[in-house]
């Protein structure tokens, strides 16, 4: 018989003597029959049935050394293949975590076989196959606890108010709930002890401060979904406005849509007007034309100016504004502070050159802008037209000039069908295909050709350049080149190591300190034209008189042979020439 079998018999006998029985589950039901059979076999084969357990153990240890015939039994191996004999017992499992106590019928928390009776809080573990954070009080799990508990988890040092149901921390529970007279924010089963956020329940979104709804708060607050406008502690989800406050550390006016700050680019309204929004806030420096879902608007100082009508600029061009809004239907000539402009589809067309219409008439456009200085004959898609002061003159019936010649004008428009003699007053114009080819009088000119002013000065000359020479070498302002002037010039040339000729060439002129520009241009001044291709007789007379007045008012002096600028010198013929220019 093996040692463990003997031990089992003796353990059973001991329990019987003590009046105890083993639990039904301690051994199979037929275990005693097996033990009895082995005991009977042993009594038949051994005289040492009264031996002690120690004797039997010793017999077992020596069994297998030799047989009655001196041979080694079997293959010479020791029983159990040399392993330590198994006594049938399993080492006791060390308690760590939650264990059930049959006596008290409770679950308790152990660490290294020690009941954690000094621990109160939440501990993560498994009970009845459910892993969760369980509430432990003095080492015992309280599975009947539900409601709010102020405690900490074993992995934390901070106590929080926590929501518990059947002893479990409700980590999947997030809500805003009422407890007593207060509303509390529960996130993953825990009430946050500090900080602010915006949280939701079935009644809306609420401003949370230190875990509790703050019904006194008005302003902006943030959660993971964005920034929200709060009124009396609650998100004002019906609010569409532009509101002042602090968002992302910036104090500004912010665009709110359905209670939430929208970081967009648009034009939005509040009680004070419509405002340019850039990245969610009002840009008070905006002076432009910008858009929202209702159109494009003129912005001044960040605000839509509904009183503005004109032409304004943005990054895309210049636009026609009527009552603060771009008029994309405008095809006209309109003005702003910089002039009058040709508008096509609401936008200034800087590429256009021609004649275009507005409510005041037809206008000469050059590079998109009205040219009020245009006095000519120009064209558009409808023909060639006479322009006076930039505007088509439909009352004009005469001949008029442009860069291509003189033309017969009837009702402001070139009459290309006219052939023959066209009589105006005492003039007879000879016309072919509307163009004047000749006249019985000298025709007005729009340019004058003069010879170059770069000629040498000698006793044969008088005028403005001679005055300069006398000032340099004689110390007077005489307009005449005399023999005295010639001697002085010779002396000047000798002193400056120039060719001694007695007349002034460009080299001598520059040695006197005068410029090459004056050498060629002094004495060639022409009064700018005051009349145009289409000016009439009275216009030309008035222009001559005005030129004479200009010379008088400038204090112009009289010297023979001069026709200078106002304020210099002229003689009689010189003044008349300037007036006729």
DSSP string across 185-215: EEBTTEE-SS-EEEEEETTEEEEEETTEE-T
* Close Cβ partners of 331 (under 8 Å, ≥ 6 residues apart): 343, 344, 345
3-state secondary structure of 36: helix
**Is a pLDDT exceeding 70 seen at residue 37?**
no
Percent of the chain with pLDDT over 70: 81
pLDDT of amino acid 13: 35
Contact 268, 275 (CB under 8 A): yes
Q: Each residue of 414-452: pLDDT tens digit?
A: 999 999 999 887 788 899 999 998 876 666 666 677 666
Q: Which SS3 state, helix, strand or coil, does residue 15 take?
A: helix
- 123-168 pLDDT per residue, tens: 999 999 999 999 999 999 999 999 888 999 988 888 889 999 999 9
Q: What is the dihedral of CA 427, 433, 438, 441, to 10 degrees?
A: 10
Do 357 and 330 form a contact (C-beta atoms < 8 A)?
no
Q: What percent of the chain has pLDDT over 90?
A: 67
Out of 1.10.3720, 1.10.10, 2.10.270, 1.10.238, select the CATH number for domain 357-364+378-443: 2.10.270
Helix, strand, or coil (residue 348):
strand
Q: How many whole angstroms separate alpha carbon 140 and alpha carbon 108? A: 4
* pLDDT score of 49 more than 60: no
Three-state DSSP class for residue 114? strand
What length does the chain have?
Answer: 581
Residue 300 contacts residue 275 (beta carbons within 8 Å): no
Whether residue 18 contacts residue 12, with contact meaning beta carbons closer than 8 Å, is answered with no
Task: Tell me how far apart the alpha carbons of residues 335 and 309 are, in angstroms, rounded to a whole number.
Answer: 9
Find the helix or strand (DSSP H, E) in which 343 lies: strand 339-344
Around Cβ 256, how many Cβ atoms within 10 Å? Answer: 24
pLDDT digits (tens, 9 = 90+) for 227-256: 999 999 999 999 999 999 999 999 999 999
Predicted confidence band at 193 (pLDDT cuts at 50, 70, 90)? confident
Segment (H or E) for 250: strand 250-257
Beta-strand relationship, 557-558 and 569-570: parallel
Give the mean pLDDT of the chain: 84
413: left (phi over 0), alpha (psi -120 to 50) or beta: beta
Helix, strand, or coil (residue 544): helix
Cβ atoms of 176 and 213 closer than 8 Å: yes
Question: What's the pLDDT at 215?
Answer: 96
Residue in 245, 240, 249 with CA at minimum distance from that of residue 268: 240
Task: Write the pLDDT tens digit of every residue in 60-111.
Answer: 443 444 434 444 334 444 434 444 445 555 566 788 999 998 888 899 999 9
Alpha carbon distance 223, 204 (integer Å)? 14
Residue 560's alpha-carbon distances to 392, 464, 572, in angstroms, are: 45, 9, 8
Distance CA 401, CA 436 (A): 9
Burial readout 237-251 (b: 16 or more C-beta within 10 A, e: otherwise)? eebebbbebebeeee
DSSP annotation of 480? B
| Pairwise pLDDT comparison (337 vs 6), residue with the higher score | 337
**At how many degrees (to 10) do helices 3-17 and 31-45 cross?**
120
**Which three-class secondary structure state does DSSP give residue 154?**
coil
């Amino acid at each position: 018989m093996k040692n463990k079998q003997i031990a089992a018999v003796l353990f059973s006998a001991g329990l019987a003597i003590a009046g105890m029985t083993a639990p039904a589950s301690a051994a199979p039901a037929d275990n005693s029959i097996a033990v009895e059979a082995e005991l009977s076999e042993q009594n038949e084969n051994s005289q040492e049935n009264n031996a002690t357990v120690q004797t039997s153990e010793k017999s077992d240890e020596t069994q297998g050394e030799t047989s009655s015939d001196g041979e080694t039994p079997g293959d010479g191996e020791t029983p159990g293949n040399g392993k330590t004999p198994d006594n049938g017992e399993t080492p006791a499992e060390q308690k760590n975590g939650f264990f059930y106590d049959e006596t008290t019928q409770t679950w308790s928390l152990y660490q290294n076989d020690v009941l954690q009776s000094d621990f109160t809080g939440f501990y993560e573990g498994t009970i009845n196959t459910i892993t969760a954070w369980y509430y432990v009080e003095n080492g015992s799990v309280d599975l009947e606890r539900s409601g709010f508990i102020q405690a900490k988890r074993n992995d934390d040092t901070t106590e929080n108010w926590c929501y518990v149901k059947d002893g479990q921390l409700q980590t999947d529970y997030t809500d805003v709930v009422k407890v007593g007279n207060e509303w509390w924010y529960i996130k993953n089963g825990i009430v946050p002890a500090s900080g602010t956020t915006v949280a939701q329940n079935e009644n809306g979104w609420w401003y949370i401060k230190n875990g509790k709804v703050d019904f006194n708060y008005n302003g902006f607050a943030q959660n993971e979904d964005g920034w929200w406008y709060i009124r009396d502690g609650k998100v004002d989800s019906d609010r569409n406005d532009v509101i002042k406050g602090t968002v992302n550390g910036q104090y500004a006016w912010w665009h709110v849509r359905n209670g939430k700050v929208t970081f967009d680019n648009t034009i939005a309204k509040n009680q004070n007007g419509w405002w340019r929004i850039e990245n969610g806030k009002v840009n008070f420096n905006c002076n432009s034309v910008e858009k929202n879902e209702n159109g494009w608007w003129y912005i001044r100082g960040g605000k839509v100016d509904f009183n503005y009508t004109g032409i304004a600029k943005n990054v895309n061009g210049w636009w026609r504004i009527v009552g603060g809004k771009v008029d994309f239907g405008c095809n006209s000539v309109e003005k702003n502070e910089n002039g009058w402009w040709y508008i096509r589809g609401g936008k200034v067309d800087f590429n256009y050159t021609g004649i275009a219409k507005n409510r005041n008439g037809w206008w000469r456009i050059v590079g998109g802008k009205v040219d009020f200085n245009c006095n000519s004959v120009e064209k558009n898609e409808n023909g060639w037209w006479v322009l006076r002061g930039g505007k088509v003159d439909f009352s004009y019936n005469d001949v008029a000039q442009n860069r291509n010649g003189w033309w017969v004008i009837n009702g402001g428009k070139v009459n290309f069908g006219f052939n023959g003699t066209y009589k105006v007053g005492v003039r007879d114009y000879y016309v072919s295909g509307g163009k004047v080819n000749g006249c019985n009088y000298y025709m007005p000119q729009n340019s004058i050709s003069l010879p170059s002013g770069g000629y040498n000065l000698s006793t044969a000359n008088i005028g403005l350049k001679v005055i300069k020479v006398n000032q340099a070498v004689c110390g007077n302002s005489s307009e005449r080149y005399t023999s005295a002037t010639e001697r002085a010039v010779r002396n000047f040339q000798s002193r400056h190591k120039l060719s001694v000729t007695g007349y002034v060439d460009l080299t001598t002129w520059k040695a006197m300190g005068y410029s090459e520009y004056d050498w060629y241009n002094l004495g060639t001044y022409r009064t700018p034209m005051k009349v145009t291709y289409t000016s009439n007789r009275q216009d030309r007379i008035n222009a001559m008189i005005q030129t004479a007045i200009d010379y008088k008012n400038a204090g112009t002096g009289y010297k023979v042979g001069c026709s200078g600028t106002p304020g210099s010198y002229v003689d009689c013929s010189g003044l008349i020439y300037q007036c006729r220019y």
